[in-house]
Structures are given as C-alpha cells and as structure tokens.
Amino acid sequence: MMDRLKQMNPVFLVLLLLFVAIAILSPYFLQPTGYMNFLKRAAPIAILAVGQLYVINSGGFDLSAGALVTLTVIGSSILLDGEASATWWVILAMLGVGVTVGTVNALVVSWLRVPSIIATLGMMITLSGIALTWSGGAPRGYLPENFRFFGRFLIKDLPLIKILPVAVIVMIVVCALLWWLMHRTNYGKRLIAMGDNPKAALLAGVPLTQTRIVAFAMSSISAVIAGILLGGFAGVSTDVGVGLELQAITAAVIGGAQLLGGRGTVGATIAGALVLQAMFTLLNILGFPKPVRDVVQGLILISAVVIAGYRRRRSGG
C-alpha cells in the first residue's frame, strides 16, 4: 500500500490539496456552478496540454500552439462574420488548417532536421503574422451564436450536477479520444518508444516520420479545438492565444511528462492542467493581482522539473 502511494504521481495529491484549499476558502466552489465553472475555464488548457503531450512524448516541443489558437479565433470570426449557416464548414476548415500546420511542423523536423523548438517557433511567428495580416491588427467580424455554443452554452436543469457546460463535454470527449490514442493503440506505444529512443524505434520498424506527423497534428488539432472554445467564452481578440503554449508545456511537465520524450500520461497531464488552473483560481481567491500567476507558473515549472529529476535519480532510473 505504502509502495503504491509512493509510486503514485504526486500531481494527483497536489491537485487534491489545492481543491481542498479552494473549497475551504470559497464554499461556492463546492456548488455545481462553482466547480463546473472551474472545469469550463480549465477545458482549453487541458485540451492544449494533452495535445502538447503528444509532441513532448515524441521528443519535441510545439511552440506554435498558442499562435494557432489566435489564428483559429481571428480566422473564424472573419470568415463567419456572424453568418451562422457557415459555422460547420468553417470549423472543418479550421481543423484542416490544424492538420496542415501539424504536418508542416513535423516534416520540417523530420526532413529538414530542424530542432522542433526552432521549427515550431518559426511556425508561431508565421501564424501570428497571418492572423495579424488577415485581421489588419484588430479583431474584425464576429462569431455567431452557434459557433460560440461550444465555449459558452450551459446545459441546465440536470439532476445531481444541475448544470453542465458544453465546453466540459468537449474536454471530456477530446481528452478521452486522445487518452485512447496514446494509451490504448499501437500508435501511442510507437510514439512513446520513438521519444524514448528514436534509433531503437527505427531499428524495430517504427515509421518515425509518420508517427511524428500524427503527433504534431494532434497538438495542432487540439489547439484549433481550444481556439473554438476560447472564441466561445472569451470572445475575439488578437492576444487570446498568447502564452498558451507555455501553459500547456507547464501543465504537461507538472503532470510528470519527461521533456525530450519517452514518459508522460494523458491522465497526469490533465491533472497538471487542472493544478495550473486551480493555482490561478486560488491566487485569485487570495486576492493576488493577476501578474502573480506568471511568477507562480514560472516557479512551479522549474520546481516540477527539479522534483521529477530528483525522484528519477533517487529511484536509480
């Protein structure tokens, strides 16, 4: 029993402690509207973090995710400009953009051998450039109700939980699919093996380029989905995605994912995203100004890596 406890990922314990702290400080959090609101806010970052985990497990980084969120919001609002009937094909088009962006990232890494951090950095600059050019620097157009439905609609009058935001359903569905792909398919096992030791994976027959393309595409698709949610509840702005890629990496690292690949689970990454969001909520309740979030995020990012390294060395791994 003690052994199992020791082996358990500490992120779950941290999350529990944070929830308890928040609940004590703000009983509102125990109401369905309280925790559902919390989950709704956490949904985009959780989705982004799990997408990012695909790239991290493959041994890379995806810094272009935040810019892709912005592009999704800006692009959708310009394309739609309130035209509700176009919502579905715009969403499809945006997912297509996501697949393209991910594929380009992966091919630049695989074929041109550019380190993923530089490749996705270039993509990030390019995507924000496209978003700015397209919009002319200020948000234009607006998103119709049926597009904002995903981010903002609440299903009401449910038994037990009373309300259920659509964003939470989206989060659960997307994360479940990504959990399945990572942990219950051959693809996921190939991905993790490739991040662990690309040479051994290659010599065992794993198709590296194909595996990498899917990993980057998953990250980009999750960015598009996060963008659709954020467009729904935060509205259109040109800085909606700024810094989200770092939050996603931070969440994955808090969840114990190993940078440069080979170790990291979807469940722990979701927990990491919730820890990050809970930390922000707690700081808010305690009345700290918003900027303190950054300081805390920076400190936990470093500490998570230090602690993970320490645990690994101690266990002799």
Measured distance CA(70)–CA(231) in Å, rounded = 9
CB of 266 to other proteins, least distance (A): 15
Q: Strand 154-158 relative to strand 162-165: parallel, antiparallel, unpaired?
A: antiparallel
Report CA-CA distances (Å) from 96 to 13, 192, 231, 287, 292: 38, 25, 18, 42, 37
Report CA-CA distances (Å) from 140 to 89, 128, 132, 211, 248: 19, 15, 11, 37, 27
> Cβ closer to other proteins: 159 or 289?
289
Roughly what angle, to the nearest 10 degrees, separates helices 65-80 and 208-234?
50
CB of 133 to other proteins, least distance (A): 4
> Cβ closer to other proteins: 20 or 117?
117
Contacts of 2 (CB under 8 A, 6+ apart): none
Report CA-CA distances (Å) from 235 to 73, 102, 148, 155, 246: 8, 25, 8, 20, 21
Q: Site residues (CB under 8 A) for other proteins?
A: 61, 108, 112-115, 117-119, 121-130, 132-133, 136-137, 181, 184-190, 192-193, 196-197, 199-207, 214, 246, 249, 253, 258-260, 262-263, 289-299, 301-302, 305-306, 309, 317
CB of 205 to other proteins, least distance (A): 4
SS3 164: strand
> Cβ closer to other proteins: 149 or 187?
187
CB of 87 to other proteins, least distance (A): 26
> Cβ closer to other proteins: 8 or 302?
302
> Cβ closer to other proteins: 85 or 133?
133
> Cβ closer to other proteins: 27 or 207?
207
Looking at residue 28, what DSSP letter applies? G
Here the tokens at position 113 are 């051998």
Looking at residue 86, what DSSP letter applies? G
SS3 235: coil
CB of 203 to other proteins, least distance (A): 5
Among the listed residues 273, 277, 257, the one whose alpha carbon sits nearest the alpha carbon of residue 265? 257
CB of 140 to other proteins, least distance (A): 13
> Cβ closer to other proteins: 159 or 317?
317
CB of 69 to other proteins, least distance (A): 16
